[in-house]
């Protein structure tokens, strides 16, 4: 059992590391896009003398800030803290509808889907 727990924890850590690495890689591409878009939109706003052209920078900056926080900031620590808070104070939110699945429930579903099983 201890080996299984260690293996599961290793897998969780590796998946989390992959998620962070993916976010950091995505941030490189999105950061480049955001920078080019900001320069282009600013140039367009100046040429057209219309500050409304800069409006797309607002949602793009929120996406950029979120990705940066996920890759290099404290977002994962805040998410972990909130998850721990939910586990400690709001565990009723985690309950499954109709309670946990039992072996009998699985057998009923298996029998109802089986074409060859005839119940007596």
Give the pLDDT confidence of 20-51 residue by residue, as tens digits.
999 999 999 999 999 999 999 999 999 999 99
DSSP for 34-60, written as a single string: HHHHHHHHHHHHHHHT-GGGGTTHHHH
Number of folded domains that form the chain: 1
Q: Residue 24 sits in which domain range?
A: 1-119
- pTM value surpassing 0.75: no
Mean pLDDT of the chain: 92
Owner of token pair 């040429």: 47
Q: What is the pLDDT of residues 79-105, one digit of tens each?
A: 999 999 999 999 999 998 988 889 998
Provide the pLDDT confidence category of residue 9 given band limits of 50, 70 and 90: very high
pLDDT of residue 118: 59
Provide the pLDDT confidence category of residue 117 given band limits of 50, 70 and 90: low
């Amino acid at each position: 059992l201890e080996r299984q727990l260690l293996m599961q924890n290793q897998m969780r850590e590796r998946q989390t590391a992959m998620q962070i690495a993916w976010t950091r890689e995505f941030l490189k591409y999105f950061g480049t896009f955001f920078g080019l878009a900001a320069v282009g939109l600013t140039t367009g706003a100046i040429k057209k003398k219309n500050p409304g052209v800069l409006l797309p920078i607002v949602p793009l900056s929120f996406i950029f800030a979120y990705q940066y926080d996920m890759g290099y900031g404290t977002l994962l620590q805040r998410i972990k803290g909130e998850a721990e808070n939910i586990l400690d104070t709001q565990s009723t939110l985690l309950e499954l509808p109709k309670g946990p699945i039992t072996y009998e429930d699985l057998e009923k579903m298996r029998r109802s889907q089986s074409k060859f099983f005839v119940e007596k």
